[in-house]
Amino acid sequence: MALSDSVLDHLRHVAALPDLTGTRYELESEIGRGGLGVVYAAHDRQLDRRVALKVLDFALAGEARLIARLEHPAIVPIYETGTLPDGRAFYTMKLVAGTRLDRYLAGSPSLAERLRVIRRVGEAIGFAHSQGSIHRDLKPQNIMVGEFGEVYVMDWGVDAVEGTPAFRAPDPSLDHRSDIYSLGALLRFMLPVAAPPALRAITTKAMNADPAARYSNAQALLADIERFQEGHAVEAWSEPLWHRLRRFGSRNAVLLWLLAAYAAVKFLLFFLRNV
Amino acid sequence: MNKILIGLLFGLVLGAIDGTTAWFTPEARPLIGGIMVGSSIKGMLVGLLSGWFARKVHSTKWGVVLGAGLGLLFAFIVAAMPSETGKHHYLEIMLPGFVVGAILGFLTQRMGPPHPAVIAE
Amino acid sequence: MLAGAWGMIGSRTYLDTDTSIGGPHGGFPSTQLSLLEAATSGLANEALERVIALYWKPVYRFIRLKFRKNNEDAKDLTQSFFATAIERDFFVRFEPSRASFRTYLRMTVERFAANEHAAANREKRGGGIEFEPLENQAVTSESPEQVFEREWQRQLFALALDDLRSLCESSGKQLQFHIFEAYDLADEARPSYADLAARHGIAETSVTNHLAWTRRTLRGLVTDRLRGVTASDREAREEMRRLWL
């Protein structure tokens, strides 16, 4: 049987499509490929809503259960798991309407906005760690910013097969500290070109080649970011004296101005009298 | 350490310092003891009232305004008191008093236990 | 002779009750062993047959394109490649962790053909540049390597389609196959579901169902064929990722 190129490609396409007969879903279109499977948009006939349907190449029922256990505002809720007639496992989850993080940055959000997103991601990661789960493949493509500004971290627990090297820790075995590395890489990715040295220092600490030298957990990293946002000294950065004075000055600006006003008044009166 | 105590303490210290600067005015030097005492009491009063206000109202802006106003008021009272020389140094007393009052207003707002509204934020 | 060609490549335990590639689909059990399993369990001949069935055409086209051989020379070279490969245990030296079997085989072909080419040239005197006529070859913008992979994909599906045809004939599912053939194997204009329904006197939903059944059966058969020429689950998975569109 001689297959032309067009027929071959057509077969490659249709053989890969999930057959949803017997399920309550109707296939709509492919949304993306991540981790160990392809994600489609599907229509749930029973509830009359659109869902995201992820088909796993191989029956790793563990992945769905892993995520379903994690209930967190930044983790996409799982609706249902099932098996396709061809034996592949799938699960459905909330269809997030929003933009992926790499495209979100194209809209030039403010630094405060970027830090807000990172904090949401960090909170999700911290929560997952507390539940014993590790993300393993944290990168901008796995983060969505929804239409209401909500942040979702997706594609959990998948060993980064074709992982983007830039975001993957060089550790021989992945544990929660590898996630910290990725979190730091993510922060670095999100920082504008002219980023405050304190923030850059935070990313450097998080991305230390030695896992023991990184932040011990996500909360520690977030706490440092918070310290930066409140004008306090950041743990990751030993700042030069003049910078410390400048920061002190900006935090206590009002008081310093008042003291200056007092001194000015005194001097003024002194000179007025002796003129 | 509540806001009233903070006001009293800083009022005392700043008032004393303010009074000490009278030393730069040669004619005031012999009276410096009394000036310092008076200034300290003035400061403590302003501090006390600012501290009390800070417990009720959480607003740095209004705290500063009130402190400055009280500082001005009490400085005026002091300046208007009959003096031995018969001269009244309104400007020299009221202007610094105004600023010191503002400082006390600021400090009582910012320091000490947070206002309940802040905890709820 | 062939049995000795494989020897022990390496031991690998195969449990995998969970990760059944192409698992149960319409009652067609998956019995395909991976390359290594076939080799280590003494089914070397069968493994080799599968490899040759799949790779003959891709190797032939690759040699034609890369080394600018004419039809006859390319055929001869392909034949001698496989014969030599078996004799010299080329396939035994494959290390699953380094590359896919497909890439390994292609590189082996390259080395083999280059050696043959050099040997042939040494026989001629005068040294100088040889020009091989590019007779009747389709001008393609693809590299020989891309052509190799493409032919491999084509042959993989072709074999799976043969399997599908036999399966349908032996299990009385000729209707399903006809509908699939008319729709998915159509080269130009595809008939609509309504047309097909009318043609065979069935409902449109049946058309949808038949297509679905056939497609997923085909998927299973492709997967089986693929497993027969890969050395590990992981390799099979990665090849599949490249395969599906």
Q: What is the pLDDT of residue C65?
A: 87
Higher pLDDT, A203 or C141: A203
CA nearest neighbour of A55 among A71, A24, A75, A31:
A31
Inter-chain CB pairs, A–C, below 8 Å: 82
Which residues from A are below 8 Å from C215, CB to CB?
14-15, 17, 19
Write down the domain spans for chain A.
6-94, 98-239, 241-275
Q: What is the pLDDT of residue C2?
A: 32
CB within 8 Å: B91 and A269: yes
To the nearest whole angstrom, how far is the Cα of A64 from the nearest Cα of chain C?
A: 15
CB within 8 Å: C23 and A86: yes
Indicate if A155 belongs to the active site. no
CB within 8 Å: A87 and C18: no
Q: What is the pLDDT of residue C94?
A: 72
Interface mutation vs chain C, best among A12, A86, A162, most C CBs within 10 Å: A86
Which residues from B are below 8 Å from A262, CB to CB?
96, 99-100, 103
To the nearest whole angstrom, how far is the Cα of C240 from the nearest Cα of chain A?
A: 9
Closest-CA residue in chain A for C205? A21
Contacts 24+ apart (CB under 8 A), A198-202: A198/A228, A198/A234, A198/A236, A198/A237, A198/A239, A199/A225, A199/A228, A199/A234, A201/A234, A201/A236, A201/A237, A202/A228, A202/A234, A202/A236, A202/A237
CB within 8 Å: A266 and B102: no
Strand A98-100, strand A37-44: pairing: unpaired
Mean pLDDT, chain A, whole residue set: 87
To the nearest whole angstrom, how far is the Cα of A263 from the nearest Cα of chain B?
A: 9
Q: Cα-atom radius of gyration of chain C, to the nearest Å?
A: 21
Q: Cα-atom radius of gyration of chain A, to the nearest Å?
A: 25
Residues in chain C: 245
Residue ranges of chain C whose pLDDT lies below 70: 1-44, 91-93, 96, 123-140
Whether the CB of A259 is below 8 Å from some CB of chain B: the reply is yes
To the nearest whole angstrom, how far is the Cα of B92 from the nearest Cα of chain A?
A: 6
pTM of the model: 0.64
Which residues from A are below 8 Å from C158, CB to CB?
1-3
Which residues from B are below 8 Å from A272, CB to CB?
91
CB within 8 Å: C25 and A58: no
Write down the domain spans for chain B.
3-114
Cα C66 to the chain's mean position, in Å?
19
Interface mutation vs chain C, best among A3, A11, A19, A27, most C CBs within 10 Å: A11
CB within 8 Å: A86 and C244: no
pLDDT tens by residue, A211-245: 999 999 999 999 999 999 988 888 888 888 888 88
Q: Which residues of C touch A (CB under 8 A)?
A: 18-26, 150, 153-154, 157-158, 161-162, 184-187, 208-209, 212, 215-216, 218-220, 222, 237-238, 240-241, 243-245
Q: In chain A, what's the furthest Cα-to-Cα distance?
A: 111
Q: What is the pLDDT of residue A34?
A: 67
To the nearest whole angstrom, how far is the Cα of A31 from the nearest Cα of chain C?
A: 13
pLDDT tens by residue, A29-88: 888 876 677 889 999 999 999 999 988 876 555 666 777 778 888 988 888 888 887 778
The DSSP letter of residue A219 is H
CA angle C47, C50, C51 (to 5 degrees): 90
SS3 content of chain B, % helix, strand, coil (to 5): 85, 0, 15
CB within 8 Å: B103 and A258: yes
Closest-CA residue in chain B for A251? B110
CB within 8 Å: C241 and A57: yes
pLDDT tens by residue, B44-94: 999 999 999 999 988 889 999 999 999 999 999 988 887 766 777 788 889
Give CA–CA dist C11/C36, Å, rounded. Answer: 8
Residue whose token pair is 């050696």: C115
Inter-chain CB pairs, A–B, below 8 Å: 35
- DSSP SS3 for C54: helix
Q: Strands, DSSP E only, in A9-128?
A: 25-34, 37-44, 49-56, 78-83, 89-94, 98-100
- DSSP SS3 for A83: strand
Which residues from A are below 8 Å from B24, CB to CB?
266, 270
* Residue A32 burial (CB count, 10 A): 14
Fold classification of A98-239 is Transferase(Phosphotransferase); domain 1 (1.10.510)
A132 pLDDT band, cuts 50/70/90, is confident
> What dotted CATH number matches A6-94?
3.30.200.20
CB within 8 Å: A11 and C218: yes
Give CA–CA dist A183/A71, Å, rounded. Answer: 20
- Per the rule left: phi > 0, alpha: psi between -120 and 50, beta: everything else, C136 is left
Give CA–CA dist C36/C22, Å, rounded. Answer: 19
Which residues from C are below 8 Å from A19, CB to CB?
212, 215-216
Give CA–CA dist C73/C122, Å, rounded. Answer: 17
To the nearest whole angstrom, how far is the Cα of B61 from the nearest Cα of chain A?
A: 10
Chains in contact with B, where contact means 3 or more Cβ–Cβ distances below 8 Å, are A
Whether the CB of A255 is below 8 Å from some CB of chain B: the reply is yes
Catalytic residue among A5, A9, A57, A137: A137
- Is the pLDDT assigned to residue A161 strictly greater than 70? no
CB within 8 Å: A254 and B60: yes
Sign of the alpha-carbon dihedral angle for A243, A248, A253, A257: negative
Q: Which residues of A touch C (CB under 8 A)?
A: 1-17, 19, 21, 57-61, 84-87, 161
Closest CB to C19: pick one of A8, A15, A59: A59
* Dihedral angle computed from the Cα positions of residues A54, A55, A57 and A58, in that order, rounded to the nearest 10 degrees: 100
Closest CB to A7: pick one of C185, C209, C215: C185
Q: What is the pLDDT of residue B51?
A: 93
CB within 8 Å: B99 and A254: no
Range list of H helices, chain C:
3-6, 35-40, 44-66, 71-87, 101-123, 144-170, 174-184, 193-200, 204-227, 233-243
Residues in chain B: 121
| Burial profile A50-66: b = 16 or more Cβ within 10 angstroms, e = fewer | bbbbbbbbbbbeebbeb
Give CA–CA dist B20/A68, Å, rounded. Answer: 70
Which residues from B are below 8 Å from A269, CB to CB?
91-92, 95-96
Sign of the alpha-carbon dihedral angle for C154, C155, C160, C164: positive
Q: What is the ipTM of this complex?
A: 0.85
Higher pLDDT, C123 or B15: B15
pLDDT tens by residue, B18-35: 999 888 888 778 888 888
To the nearest whole angstrom, how far is the Cα of A77 from the nearest Cα of chain C?
A: 25
pLDDT tens by residue, C184-217: 998 888 888 898 899 988 998 889 889 989 998 9
A64's tokens: 């769905």
CB within 8 Å: C22 and A86: yes
- DSSP SS3 for C20: coil
